[in-house]
Amino acid sequence: MFDTPDLPEELLIALARQRGFALDAERAAMLRPLAESLFSRLAYIGERLPRDAAPPPAGVLEDRAP
């Protein structure tokens, strides 16, 4: 359905090192399909967001009447 990003395990290991946690090859292999799935779906969403869509206001859910 979506273009799957190419996230080789070496890249995941390098990204993990940047963020300060250890990821060995075995764990990177387990993580790879999850990461490819989530990030491909996020890319799909990102490409289709209306340009004027903004995040909701910070804080507690506003409770105005619908």
Partner 1 sequence: MTEDAFCFLSGAELGRRIARREASPVEAARACLSRVDRLNAKLGAFLTVTADRALAEAATAEREIAAGRSRGPLHGVPMALKDIFDTAGVRTTAGSKILAENVPVRDAAVVERLRAAGLVLLGKTNMHEFAFGTTNDNPHYGPARNPWDLERSPGGSSGGSAAALAAGLCTVSLGTDTGGSIRIPAGACGVTGLKPTLGRASRRGVAPLAWSFDTVGPMARAVEDLALLMNVIAGPDAEDEWCAVRPAEDFARDLERGAGGLTLGVPHEWFFEGVEPGVEAAVREAIALLEREGARRVDVALPGMAGAYTAHHAILAAEASAFHGPWLCERADDYGGDVRRGLELGQLVAAADYVNARRVQAIVRATFRAALVVADVLVTPCLPQAPLRVGEPMSREPEAAWNRLLTPVNLAGYPAISMPCGFDGAGMPVGLQIIGRPFEEALVLRAARACERAREWHTRRPPV
Q: How many CB atoms lie within 10 A of CB 17?
A: 11
What is the nearest approach in angstroms of partner 1 to the Cβ of residue 25?
Answer: 14
- Cβ atoms of 25 and 9 closer than 8 Å: yes
**Gap between the Cα atoms of 30 and 9, Å rounded:** 9
Pick between residue 25 and residue 34 the one whose CB is nearest to partner 1.
34
Q: Which residues bind partner 1 (CB under 8 A)?
A: 12, 15-16, 19-23, 27, 30-31, 34-35, 37-39, 41-42, 45-46, 49-50, 53-56, 59-63, 65-66
Q: Look-up: residue for tokens 């910070």?
A: 58
**Shortest reach from residue 44's CB to partner 1, in Å:** 8
